[in-house]
């Protein structure tokens, strides 16, 4: 994985053209790139949940951390909660309409 991330970043190519050997700095850079590439999906999900939480008035930092930790499970919970909240609001609206239309007595 470390080697693949170095190939994608172009860092190996630049270092070889400059005639440098595989130094500890290069190894550190490639290792960090591998970690970033390995966790990019978690970061993207965390940012998406943060933006959705901020837009809808929730707790965006909590959703961001949950997205980083729980990945797609967090997205499934978020979508499930939104469906539940929408259904609950719809049922409340129907109950209010029924209460208005009910005959007195």
pLDDT digit string, tens, across residues 75-98? 999 999 999 999 999 999 888 887
State pLDDT tens for residues 15-56. Answer: 656 555 556 676 777 778 778 888 888 999 999 999 999 998
Measured between alpha carbons, how far is residue 19 from residues 4, 9, 22, 87 in Å?
Answer: 20, 18, 10, 64
- Residue 58 phi/psi, 5° resolution? -90, -150
Measured between alpha carbons, how far is residue 57 from residues 47, 87, 90 in Å?
Answer: 15, 18, 19
CA dihedral defined by 87, 92, 98, 102, rounded to 10 degrees? 150
Distance separating alpha carbons of residues 70 and 92, to the nearest angstrom: 32
pLDDT at residue 49, rounded to an integer:
94
Give the pTM. 0.61
pLDDT at residue 100, rounded to an integer:
77
């Amino acid at each position: 994985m470390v080697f693949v991330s170095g190939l994608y970043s172009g860092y190996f190519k630049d270092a070889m053209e400059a005639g440098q050997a595989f130094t500890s700095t290069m190894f550190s850079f490639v290792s960090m790139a591998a970690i970033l590439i390995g966790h990019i999906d978690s970061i993207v999900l965390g940012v998406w949940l943060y933006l959705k939480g901020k837009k809808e008035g929730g707790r965006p930092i909590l959703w961001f951390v949950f997205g980083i930790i729980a990945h797609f499970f967090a997205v499934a919970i978020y979508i499930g909660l939104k469906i539940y909240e929408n259904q609950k609001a719809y049922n409340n609206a129907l109950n209010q309409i029924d209460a208005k239309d009910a005959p007195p007595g």
